Chains A and B, each alone.
Chain A
């Protein structure tokens, strides 16, 4: 019988991504309810030394395969190795991050393991021994409760939503043979072009300062950049601003852009079209600054200021600077 709550950890060049700890913590909680163990899979090159660290968040066992072919990540290499191990060990639940890598990998595993998956979940619960995964659909216009009838029951978790909670255990590190056949690898990463802005990606940001049509043009974003610098935030944009060419595609938040869930989302000059609300609705706190008191964004905001953003935002930057000084 399938047993165990497993996660696939994510690391780049020997450094864990935060989602790995969120995954282990979420798995620990489920495993405690089921009275089962937490297993983690870690693939990479020269990563054996960091395997035990997952114990800090409650992993009982960490399965490690160390191979140069695992770095940088490719679907072929990772999916083949994980599918082989999962088929041998038969966990009942398998969790991955709904990150760039996790989305690519988890969906391939759905095929390899002939199972089902709930994508981009914001909550998980156990009922009658089965996993129930809660996830936004229609970009947050409604939620679905997903039940997977095959094994493993797979779910990918939205980054920044599940807390990483320390629950120290001494994790047993188990090396496994990934059985990699280099001839099977059909894709190759030729180049990693790093973003040199030093800014955290929108999907991983704790604070986002976002601007819409009300910014009036690309130069308007200067005051948002200043506020973002003080807050350690990443700047986002609405579809209107991206389509107008004011901001790059990668900055777009919304149904056809990125889905984000920061602790704080500051929407400036964004009316709150349903398309946009869909992409940021799971933010913990939402602030709206807009001179139109009827803008739909105010219905979603925890705090709203009805005023000229070009006057409010610089003042807010000053005030935050004072508070953080």
Chain B
């Protein structure tokens, strides 16, 4: 089984995000970069399938030079090879263009299942997996928390509001991973050593035959809207504070 896992390098979840004064983006200085947590679930699932069925796991990432660390992390976890798409024109590009570049790279390699995170925790757009599936002309199953391969198809669990769905899809297919799918492994020390020698192909848009033509842009980045200062409710006893809170929620906020 040939598997592709797409990964993106993003700021760590604990990172404080500072907006540039001119609103052109965020300050990157001091940020710790990690693999997007949802992509980690994809890589882990890819490795589990490889262990079960054999085959190759290819990691594909679009990003600047530093994104290579994230590809190496996935290789250290056990993936076989990487494709690093590094092109300034794709920096901060919209989902359509990112997916076009990924599709161009993936078309050239055998693929039964392609994993993406359900979204990246930086821009939170959550579009690339589905647009990639469209470019490749294959089905998608998104927000997957369980996956089983059955012959030439897969069965997955996808939670929705108030229910979960058991969905069958033909292969090849794009699967977007949701938390709950698995527990990603840590890279072992021998894994890290081996990863250094695994092949990573570096490509740019032209090399992939892709012309970058923006469809959407972030015109401005702003700090989150300020909240008015809150009220600390004082009182002698918990009961007194609770009474005051209930009253405020009822009469001032009018939410109960």
Contacts and interface: CB of A to CB of B under 8 A. Distances in A.
Nearest to B10: A138
Contacts of A201: 161-162
A275 B253 contact: no
B221 to A, nearest CB: 5
Residue of B163, B216, B248, B253 with highest tally of chain A CB at under 10 A: B216
A137 B169 contact: no
A210 interface: no
A32 interface: no
Contacts of A108: 130-131, 133-134, 140
B122 to A, nearest CB: 6
Contacts of A204: 161
Interface residues of A, number: 95
Residue of B135, B230, B231 with highest tally of chain A CB at under 10 A: B230
Interface string B126-137: 111111111100
B238 interface: yes
Interface in A129-151: 132, 135-150
Interface stretch (A42-50, A62-70, A174-182, A303-311): A303-311
Contacts of A305: 232-233, 238, 241-242, 245
A148 B216 contact: yes
A242 to B, nearest CB: 9
A167 interface: no
A110 B131 contact: yes
Interface in B51-74: none
Interface stretch (A1-9, A22-30, A312-320): A312-320
B89 interface: no
A201 B163 CA distance: 9
Given A104-B130, A117-B95, A186-B170, A263 B255 contact: yes
User: Taking chain B's interface residues, is the majority helix, strand, or loop, or is none over half, making it mixed?
Assistant: mixed
Nearest to A281: B224
B229 to A, nearest CB: 9
A189 B162 contact: no
A86 interface: no
Given A104-B130, A111-B99, A305-B233, A187 B139 contact: yes
Residue of B155, B159, B180, B242 with highest tally of chain A CB at under 10 A: B242
Interface of A: 17, 72, 74-76, 99-101, 103-104, 106-108, 110-112, 114-120, 132, 135-150, 186-195, 200-201, 203-204, 207, 231, 249-250, 252, 255-257, 263-264, 273-275, 281, 284-288, 298-308, 311-313, 315-316, 318-320, 322-324
15 contacts: A100-B161, A107-B127, A114-B96, A119-B119, A120-B124, A138-B122, A142-B222, A147-B219, A186-B169, A187-B141, A193-B163, A193-B164, A256-B179, A303-B248, A305-B233
Which 5 pairs, one residue from A and one from B, show the smallest C-beta to C-beta distance? A116-B216, A111-B134, A116-B215, A315-B242, A107-B130
